[in-house]
Every structure is written in C-alpha cells, then in structure tokens.
Chains A and B, each alone.
Chain A
Amino acid sequence: MANIRATRDTFLHYLNDNLPALTVHNLRVDKNDPKLNEIMLNAINITFHNNDFSGPSNLSQTLVTIDVVNDLELNALDQAEQITQLLFKAAYAPLMDYTNPLAPVQIANERLFWNLSLGFKVVHAENFFHMSALLHIFVHFS
C-alpha cells in the first residue's frame, strides 16, 4: 500500500528532476504550510486526487492533475509541451522509495506508468494563463 505514496514521490521527482528549468509545486494539505494548498504562479502545479488501491498482482492507480500556470500564455504552452515530451519519451519510471530523500532507493521490479495521452484544457483566469490536464498513473506491486 505504501507504493501509492512512493508513486507520488516518484512522479513529482520525475518531473522536477528532468525539467530543471521549471518549478514543480505539489498542491497538498499541510497545516504547517497552508500555502502549499494554493496554486503557484509560474509553476507546474501537481495535484493527486483519487487513490485506488488494489491488491497484489493488480494495478493500483492515482489520478493526477497537471496545472500549468503562467503569466504568459506562450510560456505556459512551451512548458506544457516540455512536460508532454518528457512523459511521452518513456511511458514509465522506476518506482523509488524516498523515505530518505537524500538517498532514494529503487523498489525492485516495480514501476509506475501512464498513458501516452495528455489533453490540456484552458481554464479561464483573469490575471494569468492556466492549462490543466488529467493523467492516470498506474502502479503495479507484487
């Protein structure tokens, strides 16, 4: 079951580490830092929604929203394209255990993967440009 947490950690780092020019922000509830739960401007905002846990030998999945928010529409478009290119380069990533974030450990024989389809929709906003896409991330654990 802990693999859903590992899935979150791995996906966030997969984007963050492979797109160093972009700022990746995980929208999440944290009473110690409430601003984490607010959309960050000029950043890639990642929100994890449903967590569907399945037993061994079945696929567990989590639904992710990728929100590209930028002052400039053309920058947002470029960033959405970079994300798409990264995710389409390989449809999977090795699942990592980030319990010790300084020394992540690969979880043997397990990986997370996603469909090669990403539809960004424009969300109306008055003061910035906002594109939003949904992505299902699957993880199999034995």
Chain B
Amino acid sequence: MPSAKSLITKVSAAIKKVGPMARTSYKRVVTITGGDALIGRAETVTNADTLFNPQPIYRQLGHRQAMYLSTSTTQLVADDFKFTFPVTQVRVADFEGANTYIVLKDANGEERFRILYIDPTDYQGLDVVISVFARSMGH
C-alpha cells in the first residue's frame, strides 16, 4: 500500500509528463486600493502574477469555440476549465482568496479565469492533488 507521500510524488511526476500545456498558468491576485469603492472612481488596480511552478494541467470542460483568434484585445474561449495541480508547491488556501484568479498566457495574450470550486483529493489524510474548476472571463 503506497504512502500518501509517495502518491504525491507519483501524481506530481504524472502531471509533469502530461505537460507542458499550450499556455502558461499563473496565479493572479488583484488588489484594489484608494479611490471611492462605492462609485468605483479613482481606484488603483494592481495585478500580481505568480508563475505556478510546477505548472498544472488543464482541460476545457465545455465545447465553446473561440469567436476570434486569441489576441490581447479579443475575447478568448469563454468556457469552464478544470485545472489539476500537484500539491508539491500549492495548497487549497492558495485559491481561496476572493481576489485570486488563474491566468493563462501565451504569445497572443492572456485569459483570466474566475475560480468556481476547489476540489482536493485526499489520501491518508493528505491532499495528493488539487482540482480547480474555473470559468473564463475572457482577456
């Protein structure tokens, strides 16, 4: 019977073998400061992007097609995605912040995802893999 630790190592290796994906995944934390939040004036928005290392794997859950080729200024594939993260570097708490998003980037631009549901898989009391369901918000 494998230990949770060995399972974590194997799952992490398996995710690494499946990758890398076409686009690079980042964790984005949006901070809004200053101004008047009630009316949305004079606020400063700061995006802090942190590269996931190791990278997760992901797949699109629906069948929506992009209306346009992805560029930094056009809508990408607005659909739900499932991201699978090894737990070697991330924890469930990494995704729980109200202002936390997942961003996919490539040479054509970026696509932001709102986190809908965090679904860790446990073994012997430890998370061995974290699935995050997220919905595209477009570029």
Contacts and interface: CB of A to CB of B under 8 A. Distances in A.
Interface of A: 8-9, 12-13, 16, 24, 26, 28, 30-36, 98-102
Contacts of B35: 101
B137 A100 contact: no
Interface in B17-68: 30, 32, 35-36, 38-42, 45
Nearest to A10: B39
B41 A98 contact: yes
B4 to A, nearest CB: 35
A43 to B, nearest CB: 11
Nearest to A23: B38
Given A13-B38, A13-B39, A101-B39, 19 more contacts: A8-B39, A9-B41, A24-B38, A26-B39, A30-B40, A31-B112, A31-B137, A32-B30, A32-B32, A33-B32, A35-B98, A36-B40, A98-B36, A99-B41, A100-B42, A101-B35, A101-B36, A101-B41, A101-B42
B101 to A, nearest CB: 9
Interface string B108-123: 0000101000000000
**By DSSP majority rule, is chain B's interface helix, strand, loop, or mixed?**
loop
* A-B CB proximity, top 5 nearest: A101-B36, A9-B39, A101-B41, A32-B45, A12-B38
Contacts, number: 38
Contacts of A12: 38-39
Contacts of B98: 35
5 contacts: A9-B39, A28-B40, A32-B32, A34-B137, A100-B42
- Most A-side CB within 10 Å, residue of B35, B39, B112: B39
A101 B35 CA distance: 7
B9 interface: no
Contacts of B114: 34
